Amino acid sequence: ARLPALLRQMPKAELHIHIEGSLEPELIFKLAQRNGVTLPYPSIEALRAAYAFTDLQSFLDIYYAGASVLLKEEDFFDMAWAYLGKAAADNVVHTEIFFDPQTHTARGVPFETVIKGLNHAVHRAHTGLGVSAKLILCFLRHLSEEEAFATLEKALPWRHHFIGVGLDSSEVGHPPSKFERVFARCRELGLHVVAHAGEEGPPAYIHEALDLLKTERIDHGVRCLEDADLVERLAETRIPLTVCPLSNTKLCVFPTMADHNLPALLDAGLCAMVNSDDPAYFGGYMNQNFIELFAALPQLTARHAYQLARNSFEASFVGEEQKRAWV
Ligand code: ES4
Ligand code: ZN
């Protein structure tokens, strides 16, 4: 019983959380009512009952439907503020939050509304919760390169409100190569770059993210173990993998938590750590991910817990001075 206490209490960084994936059914219904949006589910219970996913796409369909209630700056603030409170309760001291502007601009919500609401919560978290929070803009990979460039254009007046860009949504059939030119432009702008790769897609997509997008981290990346040369490359360069245990089991990337390859990733010397991905949809926030992972995999010890927390800080985009203070 000592290990769960350690897992809960240790300071940690979260590097893979989609803010739209922190929208709890209760808040979805509250915002639907506030905004006069009609949901295709009669109740909170009926919505939650629909959270039975078979793969990434079956989740994304419901995730984008849930986000349809977000219309006003206050809605984005309320969503992010709720997440930041959960993060603080889990002893997350630093978080790098993904947001999907195209999910909102496509519905006529101005980019400005999204970023202002999120930014307000980020600033309040610093003073009110002692949580350091940064934003990472994600491009939806099922949309075109042209639409990604148009989104970047809309974001430029708010350049200093986010620290980097990422790539998410439906992976298979939308390889990193599709966004090579967009990411080149983002790197010129001094933005950090990350991408989802090797969640459902093959190891070749991880190579592409590194070679073509020159990403500094890989989100998920769990399929790297199928490619020994790739594992060696990730180990040597210490490119971090932002692993999401509950996400991987809920989306059937692994049949059960006992089948998760995080112990093998750590044994291979990779800079992997634990993250919540879409906590409102996958059954829990940071500490729940740690608790369920360690419960299902008894070979994981306090040493591994410490390594995961240390890796989370090493992989973060904070300055070297702050990093040394945490590591
Ligand atoms: C996502 Cl788990 C996952 N994978 C890809 N894109 C996403 N967007 C939100 N969650
Ligand atoms: Zn993700």
ipTM exceeding cut-off 0.90 for this assembly:
yes
Residue 171 CA: which ligand 1 atom is closest?
5
**Whole-number pLDDT of residue 205:** 98
How is residue 61 written in tokens?
């369909």
Atom number of ligand 1 nearest to Cα 20: 9
Ligand 1 contact via 103 beta carbon (within 6 Å):
no
Q: What is the mean pLDDT of the chain?
A: 98
- Determine the Cα–Cα distance for residues 233 and 236; give it in Å rounded to an integer: 5
**pLDDT for residue 326:** 92
Reported as type and span, the H/E element at residue 270 is none
Residues 6+ away with beta carbon under 8 Å from 167: 138, 139, 141, 176, 179, 183, 194, 195, 196, 197, 209, 213
Read off the pLDDT of residues 129-151 as tens digits, 9 standing for 90 and up: 999 999 999 999 999 999 999 99
Q: Using most ligand atoms within 8 A of CB, pick from 14, 51, 56 the residue to mutate for ligand 1.
A: 56
**What are the structure tokens assigned to 241, written together?**
């993998």
* Spatial CA neighbour of 311 closest among 99, 16, 3, 5: 16
Nearest atom of ligand 1 to the alpha carbon of 169? 6
- The answer to whether residues 205 and 173 touch, using CB atoms and an 8 Å cutoff, is no
d(CA 35, CA 72): 8
User: Does the active-site annotation cover 199?
Assistant: yes
Q: By three-state DSSP, how is residue 310 classified?
A: helix
Q: Which amino acid is at 273?
A: M
Is 196 annotated for ligand binding? yes
> For 289-309, what is the mean pLDDT?
97
Q: How far apart are CA 220 and CA 218, in angstroms?
A: 6
Tell me phi and psi for residue 99, to 5 degrees: -135, 150
Residue pLDDT, tens place only, 242-251: 999 999 999 9
CA–CA separation, 118 vs 326, rounded Å?
25
User: Ligand 2 mean position to 1 CA, how many Å?
Assistant: 30
Ligand that lies nearest to the alpha carbon of residue 138, given by its number in the listed order: 1
Give the residue, by CA position, lying nearest to ligand 1 atom 7.
169
Q: Which domains does the chain have, with CATH numbers?
A: 2-318 (3.20.20.140)
Q: Is the pLDDT of residue 1 over 90?
A: no
- Does 21 sit in the ligand 1 pocket, CB within 6 Å? yes
Calculate what percentage of the chain has a pLDDT beyond 90.
99
